[in-house]
Structure 1
């Protein structure tokens, strides 16, 4: 990873294969999460300035019968499943029953999610999305964080989830840096699943993506045509395809692909621009389990006006990113976080 190495990734922690005896081209550090939780939404919201004092409810024994009955009444559909499971395993176990009965597969995980898996030949995507929207309304009083459409295709023994996943999140409880920037008349572009995570709020443009490479390409295009504003990109394959599925080789190749894209991205940045690279949680494919991990996340900040970076230390909250962005654009300060702008311009 020569470009991430040059930026200082190996200076954040001891990482095998990355040198430490370098003068970094970026500012580097790590951040701890202050919110209660370790899911994607909680992490993204904290990056954008919202810290959650109470974790979202989880359902280790499946959803209460009262919720299931409301689902059945609202959709006219009976269900199968209703327990925590791996998404790939549950369609392997219950996919054939779904084909035979037409009943959607309901499951959850260690996060606050109500996931609905259906075969595209049994329940078309448009109908699945309608079901998810109705379910979102049912679950709002219960503060369940996300409803997720999980379509799949194939035959018994070879079922495969598609990329037509769609998330239905509850909105952030308070304004994020996205809301503040949009209110100030600035462009706020979400690339990837950003719109899903923020329930579409605070964005002036949403750009969906197919995979990491598509996300990188569309981010590069957004940089080219955006004069002033925020581009917020989520590269989902690190989590959904390689992290949760414990695909170490795929993860490594994905990192190389991203690293190879950095020279083009950095070459597009002008004085006054910033590139911030970080994460919303851990999802290490080399550790036991398939869930997110609550740990420090890396922080790399490239300022083309400062060719030599230095250490930003350990930040107490992801919200330092949102507060720094507020400082960059001179908008109202956020409720949470400490700006590190002064540390990256002098």
Structure 2
């Protein structure tokens, strides 16, 4: 597929169940999505994310209100962090950094410096993002402002990378406000429905999370598997992407799309070839 732009929607704080190394991070029993959903029970519904395959990720252990759908339109799987650190920024570094023949850099800067396309980052202040010298960083402090900017950027015919890190879910998860988490996810779901209508046929939308934060546990962040959904309007029939062992697979996919030269020392593996 000839993708010209990748849009990464980072649902920061959204985990989907304890990871295989959860015991090392005091996160046994963590399940951000599952514990949020139990507050509303069968009334918990995210129709757009469900159509994309969010419920299919947990087909053997369904989240209440999010059963698997028969014909998901997204490519779906789960992904985890490989980093020995578990913080709100370690996932970002793992996702976007890669090794060239001479140094470590990020796909964010590299695609601008080498290829002359855009990298646009929409987020509250995060030092990692602000240090991407080649990128345009658009500061926002609410999801209302963030999604407004995201929609404006999506309809513009630019090539490159567009990244948005949502704010409401992580704020409510930190404070232990499960109802606030539900409201934030429903807001995301509504904007996703609009976003999918705005995409160009050469756009790839990747929905994931760079860290988890189960409001039902005292530890912050929690070590969990994270959702991974990829969608393109040019391929409306999705399938499973399996379990990805590192967030670096997202960066590796972006790198392959834009033809970056990645060293064999980089830990990520592209899933671009699976999107068909």
TM bin (shorter chain): 0.7 to 0.9
Where does the alignment leave 5 or more consecutive residues of structure 1 unmatched? 52-172
2:168 paired residue number:
237
Deviation sequence 1:251-310 (CA, Å, 0-9, x none): 00000011011121111112221110101111111x220510011110010011111100
Separation in structure 1 between the aligned mates of residue 70 and residue 127 of structure 2, nearest angstrom: 39
Question: 1:275 is paired with a residue of what secondary structure?
Answer: strand
Separation in structure 2 between the aligned mates of residue 200 and residue 22 of structure 1, nearest angstrom: 43
1:211 paired residue number:
142
Question: 2:196 is paired with a residue of what secondary structure?
Answer: helix
2:197 paired residue number:
267
Bigger Cα Rg = 1
Q: Which has the higher contact order (CA 8 A, sep 6+)?
A: 2
1:291 paired residue number:
220
* 1:7 Cα deviation from its structure 2 partner: 0.3
Question: 2:65 is paired with a residue of what secondary structure?
Answer: coil
Deviation sequence 1:120-167 (CA, Å, 0-9, x none): xxxxxxxxxxxxxxxxxxxxxxxxxxxxxxxxxxxxxxxxxxxxxxxx
Aligned residue among 208, 221, 229 for 1:300: 229
Separation in structure 2 between the aligned mates of residue 213 and residue 199 of structure 1, nearest angstrom: 21
* 1:332 Cα deviation from its structure 2 partner: 2.0
Aligned residue among 250, 275, 282 for 2:212: 282
Which deviates further from its counterpart, 317-326 or 191-200? Answer: 191-200
Separation in structure 2 between the aligned mates of residue 307 and residue 186 of structure 1, nearest angstrom: 26
* 1:20 Cα deviation from its structure 2 partner: 1.2
Separation in structure 2 between the aligned mates of residue 296 and residue 3 of structure 1, nearest angstrom: 21
TM-score by length of 2: 0.76
Deviation sequence 1:45-76 (CA, Å, 0-9, x none): 1111359xxxxxxxxxxxxxxxxxxxxxxxxx
Separation in structure 2 between the aligned mates of residue 21 and residue 223 of structure 1, nearest angstrom: 27
Separation in structure 2 between the aligned mates of residue 223 and residue 303 of structure 1, nearest angstrom: 13
Which deviates further from its counterpart, 187-196 or 288-297? Answer: 187-196
Tell me whether 1:186 sits opposite 2:234 in the alignment.
no
1:250 paired residue number:
180
* 1:204 Cα deviation from its structure 2 partner: 2.7
Tell me whether 1:39 sits opposite 2:84 in the alignment.
no
How many residues are matched?
222
Task: Give the RMSD, CA atoms, in angstroms.
Answer: 1.7
Separation in structure 2 between the aligned mates of residue 21 and residue 7 of structure 1, nearest angstrom: 9
Aligned residue among 30, 41, 65 for 1:17: 65
Aligned residue among 237, 243, 252 for 1:314: 243
Check the 8 A contact 2:252/2:269 in 1, yes or no: yes
Check the 8 A contact 2:169/2:184 in 1, yes or no: yes
